[in-house]
Chain A
Amino acid sequence: MTESFLPVALIGVPLIASLVIFTLGRWSQRCREGVAVGGGLLTLYLSVLITRAIIGGGVLHGYLQTYADGLSALVVLLVSIVTLIIIGYSIPYMNRQVQQGKTTAQRLVIYYGLVMLFLAVMMWVCLTNNMIWLYVALEGITLATALLVCFYWNREGLEASYKYLILVVTGLCFALFATVLLYSAAGQYAPGLPALMLTELGRIIPKIPRSINLLAVAFFIVGFGTKAGLVPFHAWLPDSHSEAPAPISALLSGLVIKVGAYALARTITIFAPHYNAVIVFVAIMASASMLIGIFMAWAQDDLKRLLAFHSVSQIGYVIEGLGFGTYLGVYGGLFHLVNHTIFKSLLFLSVGAVMYATGGLRRISQLKGLGRKMPITAVCFFIGAVAMGGLPPFNGFWSKLTLFMAGGELHLWWAVAIGMLVSILTLGCMVHAGYKVFWGHPTTEPATNPGLKEVPAAMWVGMGVLAALCLIIGVYPQLIHPLLHRGTECILAVYRAGAVP
């Protein structure tokens, strides 16, 4: 274990950028955009440094109980890349919103300031080794994003933000309860062990009575499951993901629900191998999430809402894999976490591009034949759609295949069957939506509007990068294997530390 300033620097850089934007951003548009892009780039650079230090097998720790292992490096790198793309995309998108009178230039200070604050708190979640700080940081993410959800300060946004706050704050209280239970029990049954350390959970759990462990598991699932948007704690997700500005929807669906999954990976995955009932229970909840999410998605006419329900469905795959607690399961869960972040961000940004070009239209029934005038957006949307549907040669195929193999290894064939069914339904739903919006001859407005054209390069370059990642990881999955392997090994090492040989 090496002491390093990098974990603290990674939290500090976006935090400072956020403070600079809040204090100086009102004076100059270039200042707030420049600081956001600069802060995002510097954060990405530091993430790469951390990943390089860790990929060879190292572990970093620093002030404030910060800690970076393989799993942290994986998520930190992912968050940095996606957030930087979203910041770049936001510049033309939000300026257009100002031109259309949906917001004011002054309010963009709050927008960029909160995005950077969000990035700082995301980094904190990924780099803390303390369960209480994990809870506090998750609350911080909720608070930073709640104001972004109601950024337009309209009826829909405020409704979504209110529900988001009430449900997630309540849910996280359960996670706090679970943490307190474990801390308290560790004081009696595992004296001398640092009870709040996530990396010590593996040694603490076997010493604590079964009833307390199972109660803690239940509370963690409610708490972090709410943050992850798992059924039946998902009610906030479709509203907030659909009503936020499009770049923020990408942030929420691509990253925010993943921190819930990350927190579950750090906790439930350590419990799962000790209790078979946890594996089955998590698999049931994850399968319910997949099914309800996909059925609700089929019923949607609003593109953003459709994607939000797909997030409910897809997070089921991630949680199921993490709940399996085996190497293959955790590997598949993490792999799908990465892939879902990439293709869901891509899909939300593509829908944002459609809204940008059409003046805010997002209902499938209002759109037709846009592909001819927006070819890049159309291609990006279809790549995201088939990747999410699990079609080769795109990235979603490999992660789903890994998860099905992990389910088969545990003889949970019913879970595998549900996963396959949902995958087929997802593919059908997404291709159907894409066909309706982009395919065919433009015969009606807005496709016939001569002013309709492809979005600016600052928007489609980011989408192109994400689409390319879908294809590159699909064709050459070995590219990401070292990080996934290190992440999986880090989780399993925590479990093995307390396992009976």
Chain B
Amino acid sequence: MHYSPILTMTLGALLTGVLAAEVRNLRVSTWAYLVHSLFLAATIAVFGSVTNTPRLYWWVLSTVLSKVIFIPLVLRWYTIKYPATELRPILGFRVSLIVMSVVLLACFKLVHTYIDFVAPTEAATLEPARSSLAVAFTVFALGLYILVTRRDAIKNVIGICLLENGAHLSLVVLAPTMPETALLGITSSIVLSAWMLIYVTGGVYEVYGGPDTFKLSKLRG
């Protein structure tokens, strides 16, 4: 009964994640990230309902506060203060689309063929957990892909945020019974690291005159 809503929302999270990664306008990218996080929160809420785990609603609350409100607000502050157009990435949209499609297919293949290798519980081998896990891995890979291919520092921050959201989704799928205190710790550390990165990125912009991470090469060797 809940199979379809969960899959719809995880796929929504995936698509908005790709949008956040690929859109060149950083303000639109921030909005895409916000919607992506909303999908994530909604997925957790339905998981809570499906698995009858009320403590997941605390996860929903912390996700909304941290990822739907706080991080987009800080990103928005940055994109208002500094130019909102992303620097040209190493790989263009078409190549990214091909790479992401391959990653998505590989992740689905992984969880449908070698699920016993990556899923530690029997529940995770069943739908919709299995496909959600594939989406979680893809979002995580998307974050890594951004870190490798983007030269704009703020886009890299969005990459880190997506990477953490991938980890967060897998946490929900694999360990919905984790204590609330642990969740609180994880969420706070994620929020603080995103804030710290944006703060340092602001410094990079001020001192280097722009957010180009390719210019951060004074210390090589």
Contacts and interface: CB of A to CB of B under 8 A. Distances in A.
Interface of A: 130, 132-133, 135-136, 139-140, 142-143, 146-147, 150, 153-156, 158-163, 165-166, 169-170, 173, 176-177, 180-185, 187-188, 196, 208-209, 211-212, 215, 238-239, 242-243, 299
Given A153-B207, A159-B216, A146 B196 contact: yes
21 contacts: A132-B178, A132-B182, A150-B203, A153-B207, A156-B219, A158-B200, A158-B204, A161-B200, A162-B204, A165-B196, A165-B200, A173-B164, A182-B120, A183-B175, A184-B120, A187-B175, A187-B177, A211-B116, A211-B118, A212-B120, A239-B219
Most buried by B among A130, A133, A156, A162: A162
Interface string B186-221: 101100110011001101100110000100111101
Nearest to A64: B181
Contacts of A153: 203, 207
B192 A162 contact: no
Contacts of B186: 132, 135-136, 176
Contacts of A209: 116, 120
Contact of A184 (B175, B179, B182, B196): B175
Contacts of A196: 178-179, 182
Contacts of B197: 162, 165-166, 169
Interface of B: 116-118, 120-122, 124, 140, 144, 147, 153, 156, 160, 163-164, 167, 170-171, 174-175, 177-179, 182, 185-186, 188-189, 192-193, 196-197, 200-201, 203-204, 207-208, 213, 216-219, 221
A187 B51 CA distance: 15
A363 to B, nearest CB: 13
Given A162-B204, A165-B196, A165-B197, A133 B185 contact: yes
B174 A184 contact: yes
A379 to B, nearest CB: 31
Contacts, number: 125
Nearest to B205: A158
Most buried by B among A169, A211, A215, A239: A169
A142 B143 CA distance: 20
A132 B179 CA distance: 10
Given A158-B207, A180-B174, A242-B219, A169 B160 contact: yes
Contacts of A135: 185-186, 189
Given A136-B186, A166-B197, A177-B167, A184 B124 contact: yes
Contacts of B179: 196
A61 to B, nearest CB: 17
B185 A238 contact: no
Nearest to B117: A211
B162 to A, nearest CB: 11
Contacts of B175: 180, 183-184, 187
Given A132-B182, A196-B182, A158 B203 contact: yes
B216 A142 contact: no
B213 A130 contact: no
A169 B200 CA distance: 14
Contact of A185 (B120, B160, B170, B207): B120
Contacts of A243: 219
A159 B213 CA distance: 9
Contacts of B156: 166
Contacts of A239: 219
A169 B196 CA distance: 11
Given A173-B167, A209-B116, 7 more contacts: A132-B182, A158-B203, A165-B196, A170-B160, A177-B170, A184-B121, A187-B177
Nearest to A159: B216
A239 B153 CA distance: 18
A162 B185 contact: no
Contacts of B208: 155, 158
8 residue pairs, one from A and one from B, having the closest CB atoms? A185-B120, A139-B189, A136-B185, A132-B182, A184-B174, A159-B216, A239-B219, A188-B121
A28 B200 CA distance: 28
A147 B189 contact: no
A238 to B, nearest CB: 7
Nearest to A130: B182
Contacts of B171: 176, 180
B165 to A, nearest CB: 10
Contacts of A133: 182, 185
Contacts of B219: 156, 159-160, 238-239, 242-243
Contacts of B196: 143, 146-147, 165
A196 B175 CA distance: 11
Given A163-B216, A173-B167, A188-B120, A142 B178 contact: no
A162 B117 contact: no
Contacts of B182: 130, 132-133, 196
A215 B185 contact: no
Nearest to A214: B117
B208 to A, nearest CB: 7
A159 B220 CA distance: 11
Contacts of A299: 221
A194 to B, nearest CB: 11
A143 B120 contact: no
Contacts of A156: 218-219
A44 to B, nearest CB: 27
B200 A150 contact: yes
Contacts of B200: 146, 150, 158, 161-162, 165
Contact of A136 (B117, B144, B189, B217): B189
